[in-house]
Structure 1
Amino acid sequence: MPLRAHSGRKGCGPGHEARFKRLFLAGGCALGLLTAGSLHAQTPQPRKEGQLISPSLLAAHRGGTLRLVAAASGGTLDPHINYSGKYINLFAVVYDGLTTFKKVPGPDGNTVVADLAETLPAPQDGGRTYVFTLRPDIHFSNGRTVTTADVAASMRRIFRVGSPTAGSFYSAIVGADLCLKEPATCTLSGGVVEDPAHRTITFHLSSPDTEFLQKLAFTHAVIVPADTPDHDIGNTPIPSTGPYAIASYDPNKSLVLNRNPAFREWSAEAQPDGYPDTITYSFGIPDEAAVTAVENGQYDWMEGSIPMDRLGELGSRYTAQTHVMPHAAMYFLPMNVNLPPFNVQKARQAVNYALNRKAMVIFYGGPGIARPLCGMLPSSLPGATDFCFYTKGASPSAPAPRWSAPDLEKARQLVRESGTAGQKVTLITANTSVDMAMGTWVRDMLQSLGYQATLRPLSSSVAFNYMQNTSNKVQIALKDWSADYPSPSNFLDDLLGCENFHPNSDSSINIPGFCDKRIQALMDRAKTDVSLTPQQSEALWREADKLVMEQAPIAPLIEKDTVLLTSPRLGNFFYTTVNQLFFSQVWVQ
Structure 2
Amino acid sequence: MNSRKATAALALVTALALGASACNGNSKNSSSSKPGSTGGSSSSATGKDAALNSIVNPSTKKGGTVTMEESDVPDSLDPGNTYYGWVQNFSRLYSRTLLTFKPAAGHDGLTVVPDLATGLGKASPDAKTWTYTLRSGVKFQDGTPVTSKDVKYAIERSNFAPEALSNGPTYFKAYLAGGDKYKGPYADKNPNGIASIATPDDHTIVFHLAKPFADFDYLATFSQTAPVEQSKDTGASYVNHIQSTGPYMFQSYQDGQGATLVRNPQWVASTDPIRKALPDKITIKFKVAATTVDDDLLADNITVDAAGTGVQPQTQPKLITQKQYADQSDDPYAGATSYMAINPNVAPFNNIHCREAVEWGVNKASVQQALGGAVHGDVASTLLPPSVNGYSKFDLFPSKGNAGDVSKAKAALAACGKPNGFSANITARTDRPTEVAAATAIQQALKPIGINLSIKTYPSGKYFSNFAGVPSYVHSHDLGLMLMAWGADWPTGYGFLDQIVDGSAIKPSGGNNLMELNDPTINKALSDAIANTDAAARTKAWGDIDKMVIKTATVVPLVYRKNLLYRPKSATNVTVTQAYLGMYDYTLIGSSK
Match of residue 408, structure 1, among 406, 423, 432? 406
2:453 aligned counterpart, secondary structure: strand
Distance 2:181 2:552 in 1: 31
Q: How much has 1:188 moved relative to structure 2?
A: 5.5
Gaps of 5+ in 1: 1-35, 38-42, 394-402
Distance 2:199 2:374 in 1: 51
Q: How much has 1:164 moved relative to structure 2?
A: 4.7
User: Judging changes above 3 Å, is the alpha-carbon distance between structure 1 residues 158 and 340 closer, same or farther for their aligned structure 2 residues?
Assistant: same
Q: How much has 1:330 moved relative to structure 2?
A: 1.1
Map Cα deviations across residues 563-584 of structure 1 (whole Å, 9 max, x no partner): 2122221122122221331223
Return the letter of the residue paired with 1:386: K
Query: Is residue 2:367 matched to residue 1:360?
Result: yes
Return the letter of the residue paired with 2:36: E
1:364-513 superposed matches below 5 A: 364-392=371-399, 404-420=402-418, 422-431=421-430, 432-465=432-465, 466-473=467-474, 474-502=479-507, 505-513=508-516
Q: Which moves more between the two structures, 71-80 or 380-389? A: 71-80
Return the letter of the residue paired with 2:181: L
1:462 aligned counterpart, secondary structure: helix
Equivalent residues of 1:210, 1:529 under 8 A apart: yes
TM-score (norm 2): 0.83
CA RMSD, aligned part only? 2.7
Map Cα deviations across residues 229-281 of structure 1 (whole Å, 9 max, x no partner): 36322641310211112222223322211122111224665x31211111111
1:186-225 superposed matches below 5 A: 189-196=194-201, 199-225=203-229
Distance 1:364 1:427 in 2: 16
1:263-278 superposed matches below 5 A: 263-266=267-270, 271-278=274-281
Return the letter of the residue paired with 1:482: G
Map Cα deviations across residues 421-460 of structure 1 (whole Å, 9 max, x no partner): 5543111101222111101111223333323321112222
2:235 aligned counterpart, secondary structure: coil
Equivalent residues of 1:121, 1:131 under 8 A apart: yes
Equivalent residues of 2:66, 2:282 under 8 A apart: yes
Return the letter of the residue paired with 1:412: K
Q: How much has 1:165 moved relative to structure 2?
A: 5.1
Query: Is residue 2:267 matched to residue 1:238?
Result: no
Equivalent residues of 2:117, 2:132 under 8 A apart: yes
Gaps of 5+ in 2: 1-23, 43-56
Match of residue 178, structure 1, among 176, 181, 197? 181
TM-score (norm 1): 0.84
1:391 aligned counterpart, secondary structure: coil
1:240-319 superposed matches below 5 A: 240-266=244-270, 271-302=274-305, 303=307, 304-317=309-322, 318-319=325-326
1:452 aligned counterpart, secondary structure: strand
Distance 2:72 2:120 in 1: 38
Q: How much has 1:404 moved relative to structure 2?
A: 4.3
Equivalent residues of 2:263, 2:281 under 8 A apart: yes
User: Judging changes above 3 Å, is the alpha-carbon distance between structure 1 residues 92 and 408 closer, same or farther for their aligned structure 2 residues?
Assistant: farther
Map Cα deviations across residues 372-431 of structure 1 (whole Å, 9 max, x no partner): 1111100011221311001128xxxxxxxxx84411221122123213455431111012
1:71-90 superposed matches below 5 A: 71-90=71-90
Distance 2:58 2:563 in 1: 29
Match of residue 320, structure 1, among 327, 341, 346? 327
User: Judging changes above 3 Å, is the alpha-carbon distance between structure 1 residues 51 and 485 closer, same or farther for their aligned structure 2 residues?
Assistant: closer
Distance 1:438 1:242 in 2: 39
Distance 2:388 2:60 in 1: 39
Return the letter of the residue paired with 1:287: A
Distance 2:218 2:355 in 1: 33
- Corresponding position of 1:570: 571
Return the letter of the residue paired with 2:495: N
Return the letter of the residue paired with 1:380: S
- Corresponding position of 1:135: 135
Return the letter of the residue paired with 2:565: L
Q: How much has 1:224 moved relative to structure 2?
A: 1.8
Equivalent residues of 2:250, 2:260 under 8 A apart: yes
User: Judging changes above 3 Å, is the alpha-carbon distance between structure 1 residues 335 and 182 closer, same or farther for their aligned structure 2 residues?
Assistant: farther
